[in-house]
Amino acid sequence: MILMLVLLMACSGNKPKEEFAIGKKVVLVIHGGAGNINRDRMTPESDSAYRAALELSLKEGYQILMNGGESCEAIIKAINLMEDNPLFNAGVGAVLTSEGENELDASIMRGSDKNAGAVAGVKTIKNPIDAAYSVMTSSEHVMFSGAGADRFAAEQGLETVDSGYFKTEKRIKSLERVQKLEKEHGTVGAVALDEFGNLCAATSTGGMTNKKWGRIGDSPIIGAGTYADNVTCGVSCTGHGEYFIRSVTAYDVSAMMEYKGYPIAQAADAVIQKTLNLGGTGGLIALDTAGNVAMPFSTTGMFRGYITEDGKVTVKIYGDE
Ligand code: ASP
């Protein structure tokens, strides 16, 4: 089968648009955050470091799927690798609050039964996505926050760390920059389709640099930052969370497919445009049960990639590639 990739870049204002029609099923799609990501701001070294990190996540998640693993297992692996890499705004690379602390958010949703789990504002869980998964599978609830969520994760036997673990030099500097008004994004997310035809979607983040008052964005909110339904698609978002919450962005992609009959690319584009119309920049990844993928964004770039069933990896960063 010939892989047919159609990339449409329709740039109206700051709205790059991507649509894919592919001949091979996409089994895993990931993002490492959307934002002001330009070639001239990236060194060749950081460009290749991001590409290598995305590729590693895709390949490791793919291995799980190819060995008969479930979609949730594959995306957790892919996200764990990004959480453990200080390049991304999740896990060890999480951005800092206005007080120089880390408060991490994560969520996961399974498309087969629409079960979901989330944690918000956690401070000592090394891999917040694991805690979100535990909430889904080992509690009768959907979302835990703050100290209670940290205690729950510890009781579940998940690895905990001293809060100093998350404080990297890079994020201390970016807090200083953002406090002087420069915005930064960088959440991670993944959606996978397994051999059983089941979708799973997840998102993990440090939130937005310089956040305060216990601010929580879209990432841990089911329907806003993460959504999965086998009837439609799985979605993980990244961007200015307040607007993604108000737009109910992730669910809106699914709703457009279910109620309007839109194909995934059209639904994803329409939703990113609606979110942008409110004033919110960012992007999302979406995957349907037929293996079609959409990765639209309204920022200048988004770290993103996917792997198809034949093992072919595609990784992209900027708006013009
Ligand atoms: N959506 C995340 C938040 O608002 C941030 C991001 O994706 O960069 O917390």
**pLDDT (0 to 100) of residue 163:** 80
Judge contact between 72 and 200, C-beta under 8 A.
yes
Q: How many CA atoms lie within 13 A of 50 on its CB side?
A: 27
Which ligand 1 atom is the nearest neighbour of the CA of 244? 1
Range with the poorest average pLDDT among 18-22, 52-56, 77-81, 123-127: 18-22
Mean pLDDT of the chain: 91
Residue ranges in the chain assigned as alpha helix (H): 44-66, 71-83, 128-138, 146-155, 169-178, 241-247, 249-260, 264-278
b/e string for 225-248 if b means 16 or more Cβ within 10 A?
A: bbbbbbebbbbbbbbbbbbbbebb
- Mutation probe of ligand 1 site: the residue of 36, 174, 185 with most atoms within 8 A of C-beta: 185
Which ligand 1 atom is the nearest neighbour of the CA of 206?
9
SS3 304: strand
Ligand 1 atom closest to Cα of residue 216: 9
Q: Ligand 1: distance of its center to the CA of 265 in Å?
A: 22
Residue 75 Ramachandran class (φ > 0 left, ψ -120 to 50 alpha, else beta)? alpha
User: If you measure from the C-alpha of residue 218 to the centroid of ligand 1, how many angstroms do you get, rounded to a whole number?
Assistant: 7
- The model's pLDDT over 111-129, given as tens digits with 9 standing for 90+, comes to 999 999 999 999 999 999 9
* Closest residue to atom 4 of ligand 1, CA basis: 241
Q: How far away, in angstroms, is 134 Cα from ligand 1 center?
A: 22
User: Where does ligand 1 bind, in terms of residues with CB under 6 Å?
Assistant: 33, 89, 185-187, 205, 207-208, 217-219, 238-239, 241
DSSP classification of residue 187: -
Catalytic residues: 187
At residue 294, the 3 state secondary structure works out as strand
- Tally Cβ neighbours within 10 Å of residue 274: 16
Q: How confident is the model at residue 45 (pLDDT cuts 50, 70, 90)?
A: very high
Q: What is the pLDDT of residues 125-176, one digit of tens each?
A: 999 999 999 999 999 999 999 999 999 999 999 999 998 898 888 887 877 7
Count other Cβ atoms within 10 Å, centred on residue 46: 12
Both tokens of 43, joined, read 């060194």
Q: Check if the beta carbon of residue 186 is closer than 8 Å to that of residue 35.
A: yes
Specify the pLDDT at position 76. 98
